Amino acid sequence: MTHTMKMIEKCEVSPPPGSVPSTTIPLAFFDLPWLCCPPLKRIFFYHFPHSSKHFFQTLLPTLKHSLSLTLQHFYPFSSNLVFPPKSNPPHILYTQADSISFTVAESSADFISLVSDSPKDITVLHPFVPVLPPSQTLEDGTFLIPLMAIQVTVMPRSGFTICITFRHVVADGRAFHHFMKFWASICKFNGDLGLASLALPLHNRDIIQDPTGLKHIFLQELSNLLPENVESMGEIRDVPCDMVRQTFVLSHDQVVKLKKWVSVECKSHGLELPHLTTFVVTCSLIWVCKVKSEEIKTGNLLPSNDESYILAFMADCRNRLEFSIPLEYFGNCLVCGNAEVKRSKLVGGNGILEAAIAIGSEVRNLQRGTFEGAETLMSNFTEFATLGKHMTIIAGSPNLEVYETDFGWGKPKRSEVVHADNSGFISLSDCREKEGRIEVGLALQKIQMKKFSTILEEHLTEFGVLLTRKVYSYELP
């Protein structure tokens, strides 16, 4: 069914006049690798059973005003990424003329269908996504790239969406969701910062220590990167016509059973117990199901069983004693982990156990207090581009508490990572309904998605049966 999308307004929202002086923010070594990353796109769906007129007259002004107040503290989002002439390093610059592109639209799309768990055509969310404004080139050759754009779309008498497109170089997931919750809280409490009671972001880059000179190394690797290439990354891509996205929810009980099953299997095989967290076991299950589902996708023409498959994921360095970086730090503060397993092991009888051991081991490595994961950030982007189907990237995290983003109209009915719209991504999130549940989102070709869903259901059923037998057998004298 074709849905109409009507543009109502396009405007600019900036911090309150005079509230933020012109400010230059250098890029830390944590930020530099993300220059190579396509824009990130996150959408929030909210229930709103009223007319468009009511939305435009009551909610929209509040959204804009609270956004302006929020940008006073999160001004880098309304700034530009600057590439100076003469090979000087790029940086972020805020001037008092800067603002965020803010689009308002009205859609005839079916809100209930959009927030459901059922598979949806991959393009169905694209009209809700704002496009970043074009770059500017100044007379002296300085290149300016905008960092964020926002689109609010109302679906009359059912709901509305807030969708944000932003460049990863300015902020990682934790910094972005700090911004979103701050904006939501300011909106909910009508501009009262005291009632909103959220910590202010910390913009001081001096707290980022660089003992091994990673910034210099990364700048050398980026020396041939053209700003024009940064701007165009990820914006234009052909999407297969049969791709669908779907959300799967794992219950708290299912996750607990999965942890117990991995623990029992380790004892059974005389193996060291891996770092057993919800993240580790969830990623293990979904990764194995995805690899197994590829058989139907490729018509049995599978790659060699000896080929390595990689699961890439990010770990936050904030709030760790050895780094002294507070949770409120604004910017990027991620290291990268790569769990590597042969395909034959992933699709074998102990695939989930093999995956859990590899992922758990990599998580442990990243917690040892070194910047080992940071050193590989730049090279990982080359691998992402060259390994293709053999690399899967985890986007998001349940720890970011996406569903706590309440603008005053309740929790989101749904939130999705729109840029995770190809088979190279798996998105993870907390769940709206109950604590302890995990939302898993992925995009696959339609026939592969059906296969994936079947394999996932079979595994979840199997765990309960096998766990009951094995736990019982271990309890025998």
How far does CA 113 lie from the centroid of its chain? 22
**Cβ–Cβ < 8 Å for 474, 264:** yes
Residue 226 token pair: 């053209």
Between vectors from CA 43 to CA 49 and to CA 145, what angle results, nearest 5°?
135
Gap between the Cα atoms of 168 and 34, Å rounded? 6
415 Cβ contact list (under 8 Å, min separation 6): 42, 43, 44, 45, 402, 403, 405, 429
What is the residue-wise DSSP string for 302-315?
Answer: PPPTTSEEEEEEEE
φ and ψ of 316, to 5 deg: -80, 135
Catalytic residue status for 168: yes
Catalytic residue status for 203: no
Gap between the Cα atoms of 352 and 359, Å rounded? 10
Residue 216 token pair: 């210099």
Active-site residue among 168, 177, 178, 459? 168
Gap between the Cα atoms of 468 and 470, Å rounded? 6
Residue with tokens 């435009």: 56
Active-site residue among 110, 121, 210, 406? 406
3-state SS class at 298: coil
Edge-to-edge order in the sheet of strand 91-94:
23-26, 91-94, 80-83, 143-146, 136-137
By annotation, the residues acting in catalysis are 168, 406
